Structure 1
């Protein structure tokens, strides 16, 4: 729940065509302890101001010359994409109260003002508004967690597959190719077994940072789990466009790892598949890159490898069962 401090620090805008009403409302708010209060007598400025400041509460007079309160609320609805309109309507017309709620206002205050009513309605509405924002931020954070690896912060397999699909669609529209690089760390198990998982986790975080630093901004770097990573490249013309980036990643991982009092060394093997040369679906491209990775391991590790054409299913099965990563 929002604290009292959060509520008193909420951003409030008072909108009224009467200077006396504005002065009165600002005095009421400041005496109650609200610290971020501003006002305007120009209804046409409300939407631009809200875009700029994102108010937690707008105290809006319904009867004003030029734009009335109902027209202002219509404009505010276009800004508040989440559907919560932070408007507390001010009106002396009893018939306007229900109309204001139907137009999107969350509550109303009657004129002339009753001090107790003003305090209670403003406090209640701010409490709900701030709680609504907290829940929205929590939901967004949970969604980010569901799509990203908790240790490295990289996209996880769920987000990766969506990124690959998007990259393939873009490549198809622009008559380009795309590439998948499947990475596995050579010797990572020995680090975990010898020094413990805490050191292994630090290695994985450093590897993630190096892969991102060695890739283009538009490329996707993801962690599949364990010591497996994947890099997705769009807008390539041929395998030769991928070999340079692959060699750069191999060199980046080969640099020493300085963790606490230890200097650790390991390398990476990379398997490459090309869209649409090797396959045209996400699953098939990953499988072929997986087989190419097995070939890189079998060829001596600390290298990259690309297969030509689709790898036979038997070879893929052999790769998954025979290799020990």
Structure 2
């Protein structure tokens, strides 16, 4: 539940065409300890102001010239896509109370103001509004956790499969190609066994950062478990467009990793599958890239391999032939 301090810091907007009514409400609110209160006499300003400040409560007079409270609420509904309209209607007309609730207001205050009623209704509504925001934020965080790897922050397999499907749709629409690159770290187990999982986790985070930094913004870099990563490349004209990025990744992963006083080295093996040449669906593309990865491992690691008939495993010419090691 929101604390009293959080409630008193909530952002409140008072909307009334009467300066006297505005002054009275501002005085009531400030005397009660609310510290973030603003007001406007112009109802047409409410929606732009709410877009900018995202108020926790809008005290809205229903009877105003040119643009009345009901019209203002209609505009606010377009902003509050979540469905919770933070409006507390102010009205001297008993018949307007039910109409205000039907229009989306969460509650109402009758004019002339009863001080005890004003305090209670404002406090109660702010408590609900802030709790609603907390739950919405928690739901968003849970969704992020469900779609991202908690260690690296990269998309996980669930989100990866969705991203691949989207890339395939774009490729099909544009009569282009897409690539799935399946990466596995050579020598990672030895680092984990020798230096411990804390060092292994740091390596994984550093590798993730290098992979993202070496990829295009439109590409997807995902971690699907352990020391396995997948990169999705879209808008390709053919296999040749995937070879250069793969070669670059082999190079960048093999550069030393400095953790505390240690300099650690490892490498990567990569398997590549191409849509639609190798497969035309998500599962098959991942499986074929995994098979190509196995061929790269079998051929000596520290290289990339394309699915047949893409050719034999390839290794960037500038890399030494010595096996990767931990120093």
TM-score range, shorter chain: over 0.9
1:229-256 per-residue CA deviation (whole Å, 9 max, x = no partner) reads: 0000000111111111001100111001
* TM-superposed deviation, 1:291: 0.8
Alpha-carbon distance in structure 2 between the residues aligned to 1:158 and 1:181: 16
Q: How high is the TM-score relative to the length of structure 2?
A: 0.93
Q: CA RMSD of the aligned region, Å?
A: 1.0
In the alignment of these two chains, the number of paired residues is 310
Residue number in structure 1 paired with 2:145: 145
Asked if the contact 1:177/1:275 (under 8 Å) is kept, the reply is yes
| Superposition map of 1:14-33 within 5 A | 14-33=14-33
Larger mean CA deviation between 19-28 and 2-11 belongs to 2-11
Alpha-carbon distance in structure 1 between the residues aligned to 2:309 and 2:70: 64
* TM-superposed deviation, 1:46: 1.0
Alpha-carbon distance in structure 2 between the residues aligned to 1:89 and 1:307: 65
| Superposition map of 1:28-177 within 5 A | 28-177=28-177
Residue number in structure 2 paired with 1:316: none
Residue number in structure 2 paired with 1:5: 5
What's the secondary structure of 1:38's corresponding residue?
A: strand
Residue number in structure 1 paired with 2:306: 306
1:4-54 per-residue CA deviation (whole Å, 9 max, x = no partner) reads: 111111111111111100000000001111111111111111111111111
1:261 aligns with 2:261: yes
Residue number in structure 1 paired with 2:282: 282
1:235 aligns with 2:204: no
Alpha-carbon distance in structure 1 between the residues aligned to 2:75 and 2:203: 52
What's the secondary structure of 2:122's corresponding residue?
A: helix
* TM-superposed deviation, 1:309: 5.0
What's the secondary structure of 2:83's corresponding residue?
A: coil
Alpha-carbon distance in structure 2 between the residues aligned to 1:259 and 1:297: 26
* TM-superposed deviation, 1:59: 0.4
| Superposition map of 1:193-272 within 5 A | 193-272=193-272
What's the secondary structure of 2:229's corresponding residue?
A: strand
Alpha-carbon distance in structure 2 between the residues aligned to 1:76 and 1:299: 62
What's the secondary structure of 2:211's corresponding residue?
A: helix
1:120-157 per-residue CA deviation (whole Å, 9 max, x = no partner) reads: 10011011001100100000000000000011110000
What's the secondary structure of 1:135's corresponding residue?
A: helix
Alpha-carbon distance in structure 2 between the residues aligned to 1:152 and 1:18: 55
Alpha-carbon distance in structure 2 between the residues aligned to 1:196 and 1:188: 11
Asked if the contact 1:296/1:303 (under 8 Å) is kept, the reply is yes
Q: How high is the TM-score relative to the length of structure 1?
A: 0.94
What's the secondary structure of 1:286's corresponding residue?
A: helix
* TM-superposed deviation, 1:308: 2.1
What's the secondary structure of 1:122's corresponding residue?
A: helix
Alpha-carbon distance in structure 1 between the residues aligned to 2:54 and 2:224: 38
* TM-superposed deviation, 1:71: 1.1
Alpha-carbon distance in structure 1 between the residues aligned to 2:54 and 2:198: 43
Alpha-carbon distance in structure 2 between the residues aligned to 1:7 and 1:74: 26
What's the secondary structure of 1:271's corresponding residue?
A: strand
Asked if the contact 1:277/1:309 (under 8 Å) is kept, the reply is no
Alpha-carbon distance in structure 2 between the residues aligned to 1:70 and 1:116: 26
Residue number in structure 2 paired with 1:320: none
Alpha-carbon distance in structure 1 between the residues aligned to 2:287 and 2:48: 52
